[in-house]
Chains A and B, each alone.
Chain A
Amino acid sequence: MRIWFSASVSALMLTIAGLSLAAMFASGQSAAYRAPRTPDGKPNLNGIWQALNTADWDLQGHTAAKGPMPALGAVFAIPPGLGVVEGDEIPYLPAAAAKKKENQANWMKLDPEVKCYLPGVPRATYLPYPFQIVQSPENILMAYEYAGGVRTINMGAPTKAPGDSWMGWSNGRWEGETLVVDVTSQNDQTWFDRAGNFHSDALHVVERYTPRSADTLMYEATIEDPKVFSRPWKISMPLYRHVEKNAKILEYKCVEFAEELLYGPLSKKPGN
């Protein structure tokens, strides 16, 4: 009797220990988080995700500022942000630093986002629009709401790009809990943000998507471009899952919003 009692007590204690261990894991200790699995046993990243930060305004820390169009007042003013660059420094080579300044000064004229051009990687990830991950064993598709951008990440033996493109060429692999995507062959037309941060066609991006809780992912991108930067540098940010019912990537064909800017001056003048 006495032995049975103490056995039950120790069982109970073990259970409590187990439960508190579980609670600890579930409380956001990201290093130990183990994501739910897909039927083929891989971390399940399926879902609609979005960055909740101001990285698209400026990757680096920035205070609030007035927007580019005085007529819009406080609507569309530039929101402040702590920045997403490790160490807050982007290691530009001297000539590139000058070009960045020039880009920033002529942002509205030069930024490909203003023209509704495909955003490239990593900018596609933290534009202020959601994107959806659709995961199969052979390919992982990322569908971006902005401009209907898309890329299919090949999860098989790495393949080579037929040529440079706006969204580049993505080969992926799993490293434990992390999806690692190697992105090459991007053209030199895309930017990193609205602050004029840019790259050349030598850009090489390695992205890491690591589940950190049921509804958040940690996103990291290591950026390498010997024509523009003196060393590789890194950005990181959490991505949040859209949990609302029936969330979906909606049609955002922004071409028609950029046409007046691009082609308006070529329209027939009234009275002509």
Chain B
Amino acid sequence: MSRRPLLSMAALLAVVIALLAAAPANGQTQSSAPKAPAAKAWTPPHTPDGKPNLQGIWTDNTLTPMERPKGLGAKEFYTDEEIAELTKRARTGSVGEEGDLGAARQQAVRYDLELYGFDPSKLRFSPNKRTSLIIGPEGVVPPMLPQARERNAERAAKEKGHEFDSYAHRPLSERCILMNQERIPMTPGANEGNLLQIVQGPGYVTLVHEIDHSTRVIPTDGRPHVPQSMRLWQGDSVGHWEGNTLVVDTTNFTNLTAYRGSSEKLHLIERFTRTADDMMTYQFTVEDPATWAKPWTAEVVWTKSKGPVYEWACHEGNTMISTILNGARVAEQEAAKKAK
């Protein structure tokens, strides 16, 4: 047997070892993880690390109201014809009780929404043809528990007459601490302008809401929630993947966050499932044993938008609080003068 091959093999081995050793910390690169089985015919694209790819800029605008109009009873879905008729009516100025215009509804005083890009020709009902965002035969938020009604009434009574005393008495949205559109769960408005960008990195999904640059960096590495003693305006979110669905669990809310009158026991479960290239189903379940007798679930369909997501700096441009407080002080002075 010739010794030469053995010799060259040994040398080759040495070189290989040397090369391997000379590539420091190069061990984190992984090939794509096996893809999760597709639930439907359409398989979502995956990120380079093998997770369902939810990325993009999304909008959730819809006329579909949170709660089902009373006249519809247990009717959960419209027919195609009904949707077409409702949409036609809405776009020509008659939204009816089937649609919710939100901030765009007729009010005594309101912003000129056309300045904010409000465009009635883009009004639409939910593509899933649901009659309300809340799913199930009832289609409404369950009745509030007596203790919750009491709690909220007490708070409102305490505030009465003090609404203009100081910044601390103004709504969170006015103070740019928590604008209504950045709150979680994310509920839609009638107008496009509720853009959300999703960026995914290994072990994280980030959601950037255009409104007030509200950003959630959600870990999907199986970590627990932060200690219960930590209460946060937007709670603490942790996520995990269930097949093609991102499931996000949020607790640790403050007792002032008060989503539709909720307490600090608010527990939110959000489910993000991409159902087509340009469509995502966002489903959320709200649970709060100190506020509602049972959990309730809503479903919102998002579609892709071109964007861009631009900066929304609420606090930096907030002249509202000082104007409102200034006005209140002037009114008080004038009232005092008159009293003399």
Interface members, chain A 1-47 (any B CB < 8 Å): 3-4, 7-8, 10-12, 14-15, 17-19, 21-22, 25-26, 33-41, 44, 46
**Interface of chain B residues 32 through 86 with chain A (CB within 8 A):** 32, 47-50, 55
CB of A175 within 8 Å of the partner chain: no
Range for the number of chain A residues in contact with chain B? 35 or more
Binds B, one of A62-70, A72-80, A100-108, A264-272: A264-272
Interface stretch, picked from A86-94, A132-140, A219-227, A229-237, is A132-140
Which residues of chain A have C-beta atoms less than 8 A from B232's C-beta?
Answer: 250-251
List residues 183-234 of chain B with CB under 8 A from any CB of chain A. 197, 199-204, 206, 208, 213-215, 217, 219, 223-224, 226, 232-234
Task: Say whether, besides A141-B208, A253-B177, A255-B176, A136 and B200 are in contact (CB < 8 Å).
Answer: yes
Assess whether A176 is interfacial by the CB under 8 Å rule. no
- Distance, CA A266 to CA B318, complexed state (A): 14
Q: Pick the contact of A39 from B23, B48, B309 — CB < 8 Å?
A: B48
Q: Is A165 an interface residue (CB 8 A)?
A: yes
Report the interface size class on chain B. 35 or more
What's the count of A-B pairs with C-beta under 8 Å? 200
Binary per-residue interface labels of chain A (162-185) against chain B in the complex, 1 for a CB within 8 Å, 0 otherwise: 110111000000000000000000
Q: Which of A50-58, A121-129, A148-156, A193-201 contacts B (4 or more CB under 8 A)?
A: A148-156
B143, CB-defined interface residue at 8 Å: no
Residues of A within 8 A of B47 (CB): 39, 136
- List, in ascending order, chain A residues with CB within 8 A of B14's CB: 10-12, 14-15, 18
Across the interface, which residues of A come within 8 angstroms of B28, CB to CB?
Answer: 36-37, 44
CA distance in complex: A148, B302 (Å): 24
Q: Does B7 contact A (CB under 8 A)?
A: yes
Which positions 237-258 of chain A face chain B at CB distance < 8 Å? 246, 248-251, 253, 255-256
- Beta-carbon contact of A166 and B311 below 8 Å: yes
What are the interface flags for B93-130 relative to A under an 8 Å C-beta threshold, 1 for contact and 0 otherwise? 00000000000000000000000000000000000000
Interface locus among B147-155, B159-167, B281-289: B159-167
B: which residues have CB within 8 A of A? 3, 6-7, 10-11, 13-15, 17-19, 21-32, 47-50, 55, 164-168, 175-177, 197, 199-204, 206, 208, 213-215, 217, 219, 223-224, 226, 232-234, 308-311, 313, 315-316, 321-322, 325-326, 328-329, 332, 336
Please report A residues at the B interface, Cβ cutoff 8 Å. 3-4, 7-8, 10-12, 14-15, 17-19, 21-22, 25-26, 33-41, 44, 46, 116-118, 132-141, 143, 147-150, 152, 159, 162-163, 165-167, 189, 214, 246, 248-251, 253, 255-256, 259-260, 262-264, 266-268, 272
